[in-house]
Amino acid sequence: MRNYTRASKFLSLVLRHQPEKIGITLDPHGWAKVREILLGMNLTMEDLTYIVETDEKQRYSFNEDRTLIRANQGHSISIDLELEAREPPEYLYHGTVGQFLGSIQKEGLQKQKRQYVHLSPDVETAVKVGRRRGRPVILQVASGRMHEDGCTFYLSENGVWLTDAVPPEYIKFPG
């Protein structure tokens, strides 16, 4: 039985950060040829379909005829995901851990090495995100007010809200 978790993590690395790991290039919108992914990762189409369809976070998308695949967000390389600006809900959430609170209070949420800051539509999702690094701390973001003040938001195919940065004045910190 194939280790799909390991294959999915490697697919994420290839499609979001280092396509050169398997000798491929992504088009300007982040699409890779499925044929090249299958060869470069030694997968079958059934393996790849299983990874895409069972990924809990829905990280990947196929094009209509399943000849291309891309990651839905989280790129550290410059990609135009062709996202349309959307009006966000009044509040969005960000899961983090305590060690980052000091810098977030000073600088707000920054995209770091990614193209965007990732925000969750609900507390439950933000808890899952924060838990990956330890004990989660959930920040509430006044996304509606940010939008009214001219900040742009995008909604990725898998329901993650994206924006360039979140200044500290829009963040409600715990306690």
Give the pLDDT of residue 101: 94
Identity of the amino acid at 117: V
How far apart are the C-alpha atoms of 16 and 81, rounded to whole Å?
12
Which residues is 155 bridged to in the sheet?
A: 161
How far apart are the C-alpha atoms of 48 and 164, rounded to whole Å?
31
**Nearest-5° Cα angle at 87, 86 to 92:** 105
Contact 16, 71 (CB under 8 A): yes
pTM value? 0.76
Chain-centroid distance of CA 69 in Å reads 15
- Taking alpha carbons only, the member of 157, 158, 155, 122 closest to residue 140 is 122
Give the pLDDT of residue 1: 47
Q: What is the pLDDT along the chain (175 residues), one digit of tens a residue?
A: 468 999 999 999 999 999 999 999 999 999 999 999 999 999 999 999 999 999 888 899 999 999 999 998 888 888 888 888 999 999 999 999 999 999 999 999 999 888 899 999 999 999 998 998 899 999 999 999 999 999 999 998 888 999 999 999 999 998 7
Domains and CATH numbers, the chain: 4-71 (1.10.10.970), 92-172 (3.20.170.30)
Give the pLDDT of residue 139: 97
Give the pLDDT of residue 81: 82
For 165-175, b/e burial (b = at least 16 CB within 10 A) is: ebeeebbeeee
Give the pLDDT of residue 45: 97
How far apart are the C-alpha atoms of 1 and 156, rounded to whole Å?
32
Chain-centroid distance of CA 73 in Å reads 4
| Token representation of residue 129 | 């995100």
SS3 (DSSP) at 173: coil
Q: Which residue has 């000073």 as its token pair?
A: 106
Give the pLDDT of residue 105: 96
